[in-house]
Structure 1
Amino acid sequence: MPMPENAFSPLPFDITEKAFSLPVTHSTLAAQGVLSLVRTVYPFLEAAGCTLIRMGWNDTYRITTTTNSIYMVRIYGVDRHTLSAIQYELDLLLHLAQLGVSVSLPIARPDGLLITPISVPEGRRYVVLFTAAPGRVPEPFPLGNAEQSIYFGQSLAMLHTAADTFDSTHERPALDLRYLLDRSLAQLQPFLKQRIDDWDYLLDIANEIRMCFADPIGNHLDWGPIHGDAFSANATLAGDRVTWFDFDLCGPGWRVFDLAGAYGSAMGQDRTDEERQQVWLSFLEGYREKRQVTEETLAFIPTMHMLLLVYFMAVNLEKGPLYGFQWFGSDAYFDAHFKELRSLPFEMSKIE
């Protein structure tokens, strides 16, 4: 049956002639535009090509020069970090490199500045050029096998030791219990309103974690600048040389947080239980060669591992506005995370 001609009220304007102005969450810059920017800001680069490597909170582009040198361009997302927090990150990288830690280094412009602001539809973003990390991320990432993981342990210990003397006039949020736990619970709660059992379980976990930190041991854990996401394939290996990159989640924190990341990565490898244990023990051996680890710190790893999983379950939800919520925040997303959480003990009679 045909619709009557007056079934819908006419629009007050011709929609074919009106352009709507809508807010933008995250724009993707054309590689050719990034190439043009880099060649303008860094005239010493004879850039030949630019490729978008990774999209996310920040976008990363690879620059290849006419002489086949490779650089990486990071374009920080709007509201991802304050300008001061980005400067803290870059200060830390320069400090670590000065003390012999291999990192992907920020490169200064001819005027000595490291950061270039740009205007995009969603606001202001910041651009930094970095050296490329040599080598490759081993498989299974990020620790490889037991022969390779020892180098990651040695290098992380060197990173922590070098960071002991780091100081910056710029501010970066501390990765303390308020940030890692309380902030995470606030982010997770809206997504778990229909998953009451999971939310109650999460609150029980949170209480257990707080109790562990209330213990005197929790008050005397090694504290200082950490990578914060060291074992999400954020380091390459070339021979015995480990190079760290992507310090987007760095800040003042407990060193055992980075160690728990290594432990979780080793135990998460698609290997036999014995092989996974060998990877972890090799990493720990390497770390202990360069830096002391107390038995109290080792005993705290299961608690910190639990906190790490809660934190990353929450922080990854921030990718939803970028990639959509078909996966992030879905039942499948939480099913996978809570399955892993429920499989972990708070205590480990022996982790080595």
Structure 2
Amino acid sequence: MAELESKRAQVARIRRTAVCALAEYVIDEPRLTFIAHGENTTFRVDSPDGRYLLRVHRPNRHGPGVDSRQAVGSEFDWLAALQTDTDLQVPAPIRTRTGDWTTTADDLVCSVLGWQDGRMQANHPRPVHFHRLGAVLAQLHNHTATWTPPTKLVRMRWDWETFFGNTMEYGGVSAADCWDLLPAPVRAQFDEIARRMRTVMADLGTTSDAFGLIHADLHLENALFAAEAVHVIDFDDCGLGYWLYDLAVPLWDNRYRDNYPDLRAALLKGYGEVRELPDLTHLDDFIATRDVAFGLWFAGMAQVNPAFAADLDKTMDYIRRSLDQLL
């Protein structure tokens, strides 16, 4: 691996990009606070007008050859519709001075959202959190089942090719090359899941009882709890995919907790109270698919992000041990 620019240097460089981007928004006296440097680089923006989230998007985030401005625009179209059509608490997309959903600075696409308050419950989740999350997922699915986007929807399609083929780029590395970065035991496990899921996804098909527009990343770090409400954030992965995958995501990183059976039951109960559950036969297969998606993403990001590189071996060993049990 080539020597990586330090995280500090990367963030400082992207911060300058963020400052340039903010000039395109009607936000008075903005003050930036760094939040995270991962898939995108994010900053909190404080102003007398309010608080916002600014994202500087990684190039080719939505796949090689995909116009990131159009892709983020489709994400914002959905967020705007959710705010108009539902009572769900989601970030408000903010337009630029010229009325666009995004701007470009230093050849990077940037976007701004209204801030969402609430508490994360990722460290100590209880069944009540999963029950509320299940209800939110059902409401999202109900909305997308009837929503007609105002323009062509440009989003990832979370099908077999995207999970297991060469559709995506992770950290500037093609998905195919990310497979070659995997340790041999993990690669063998991923190959087995790919074979299994080719049949599973073909059998499920892409009709509305199994497939539609999903959040695709609604784990407990993307849900903020405030009294009885759940504020849903980070729609950056949203796209067309399987309802089961949306249910698998919050279960995936909690499946080794002692109270996992209760969390799983609560998630499904909350969903089922709002919307008919999809066939759950292959729910565990989609949990395994999440391991593949996470592992490929992490391997690619480790090639450009020093924090990911430092944790690469430990993460791959965790995935291997996890799949030993799941498979």
- Shorter-chain TM range is 0.7 to 0.9
Q: Secondary structure at the match of 2:252?
A: helix
For 2:80, the equivalent position in structure 1 comes to 94
Counterpart contact for 2:40–2:55, Cα < 8 Å: yes
- Runs of 4+ in structure 1 deviating by more than 6 angstroms, as ranges, are none
After superposition, the Cα gap between the structure-2 partners of 1:36 and 1:118, relative to the gap in structure 1 and judged at 3 Å, is closer
For 2:90, the equivalent position in structure 1 comes to 103
Q: What letter is aligned with 2:55?
A: R
Cα shift at 1:32: 7.2
The answer to whether residue 266 in structure 2 is matched with residue 282 in structure 1 is yes
Deviations 1:16-74 (A, max 9, x none): xxxxxx9xx96644657745752x3333x33352101111231111011236x311111
Residue 140 of structure 2, aligned match among 159, 170, 180: 159
Distance in 1 of aligned mates of 2:155 and 2:292: 21
Residue 182 of structure 1, aligned match among 165, 173, 177: 165
Cα shift at 1:176: 0.5
For 2:172, the equivalent position in structure 1 comes to none
Counterpart contact for 1:187–1:314, Cα < 8 Å: no
Cα shift at 1:301: 0.2
For 2:282, the equivalent position in structure 1 comes to 300
For 1:85, the equivalent position in structure 2 comes to 71
For 2:197, the equivalent position in structure 1 comes to 209
Q: Secondary structure at the match of 2:309?
A: coil
For 2:129, the equivalent position in structure 1 comes to 148
Counterpart contact for 1:231–1:261, Cα < 8 Å: yes
User: Structure 2: which 5+ runs fail to align?
Assistant: 169-174
Q: What letter is aligned with 2:77?
A: D
Q: Secondary structure at the match of 2:282?
A: helix
Q: Secondary structure at the match of 1:262?
A: helix
Cα-Cα RMSD = 2.6
Distance in 1 of aligned mates of 2:29 and 2:228: 30
After superposition, the Cα gap between the structure-2 partners of 1:114 and 1:305, relative to the gap in structure 1 and judged at 3 Å, is same
- The structure number with the bigger radius of gyration is 1
Distance in 1 of aligned mates of 2:14 and 2:185: 45
- Number of corresponding residues: 303
Deviations 1:323-352 (A, max 9, x none): 23633653x33221111111104xxxxxxx
Distance in 2 of aligned mates of 1:30 and 1:178: 31
More relative contact order in 1 or in 2 (CA 8 Å, sep 6+)?
A: 2
Paired-residue identity, %: 22
Distance in 1 of aligned mates of 2:205 and 2:14: 48
After superposition, the Cα gap between the structure-2 partners of 1:232 and 1:151, relative to the gap in structure 1 and judged at 3 Å, is closer
TM-score normalised by L of structure 2: 0.83
TM-score normalised by L of structure 1: 0.77
User: Structure 1: which 5+ runs fail to align?
Assistant: 1-21, 346-352
